[in-house]
Structure 1
């Protein structure tokens, strides 16, 4: 992986944590450099990025530690997603809410245009990307 792609990935990870970048901006930018998917691991506080050519990069995403709920609640995860889509909270607040809902992490499938949230026991919830303005 070249230095430019590494820099873009690190910038996207930091931009999410600081609120400088929105999810659509992040996904768009990562897709432009060939990232197919990424995995946010709440327990390890890191995101692993997977590029189409097989390269990977792990980036630390230090966030406040919160207890992960023991029961996965797809409805609470969905509610947190909807709040994010309406810009009603920060990414750090999204992390807190989804962790409380029993989510241990998620996969963003950029090429598949969906996010898969999962819990401790294999529970999952899938969210399709909202249509872009061009698709409406």
Structure 2
């Protein structure tokens, strides 16, 4: 990994957290940087990006202070996802909505075109990327 890649990822992460980018824009930029997957960890307040070379880059990111419930509300998570897909919800609100729905983080598999959302009790919701 070179310093430029880390610098770009930090820039993209901050733009996303500020609500300046749509999910498709984020994915396009990450693919261009050689990222094949990433994990947003709400409790650790970080996002870790994984390159196809098996390198990982962890970017600390301040998350909203929300007490994440023990119960996983799959419908709430899905509503937040669909809001983001339709650009009615940007990332700051997406974080709040998914956290309130009991989500502790998620893994995006860019090359697999899906994301896995996790609850405190091991629940997993898999969301496939919409067909283009």
- Fold similarity call, TM over 0.5: yes
Q: Is the partner of 1:118 in helix, strand or coil? A: strand
User: C-alpha displacement at 1:131, in angstroms?
Assistant: 2.0
Who is 1:119 aligned against?
119
TM-score normalised over the length of structure 1: 0.92
Who is 1:110 aligned against?
110
Q: Distance in 2 between matches of 1:105 and 1:47?
A: 9
* Structure 2 unaligned spans of 5+: none
**Residues 29-108 of structure 1 correspond to what in structure 2 (within 5 A)?**
29-108=29-108
Q: Distance in 1 between matches of 2:28 and 2:113?
A: 11
**Residues 21-36 of structure 1 correspond to what in structure 2 (within 5 A)?**
21-36=21-36
Q: Which moved more, 1:105-114 or 1:31-40?
A: 31-40
TM-score normalised over the length of structure 2: 0.95
How many residue pairs get aligned? The number is 132
Q: Distance in 2 between matches of 1:76 and 1:64?
A: 17
Q: Write the deviation string for residues 49-100 of structure 1: whole angstroms up to 9, x where unpaired.
A: 1100011111011122101011011111001111112222221111111111
Q: Distance in 2 between matches of 1:52 and 1:104?
A: 25
Q: Distance in 2 between matches of 1:32 and 1:88?
A: 25
Question: Are 2:18 and 1:4 aligned?
Answer: no
Q: Distance in 2 between matches of 1:92 and 1:15?
A: 11
Q: Is the 8 A contact 2:118 2:124 kept in 1?
A: yes
Q: Distance in 2 between matches of 1:128 and 1:52?
A: 21
Superposed CA RMSD in Å reads 1.0
Q: Distance in 2 between matches of 1:33 and 1:87?
A: 23
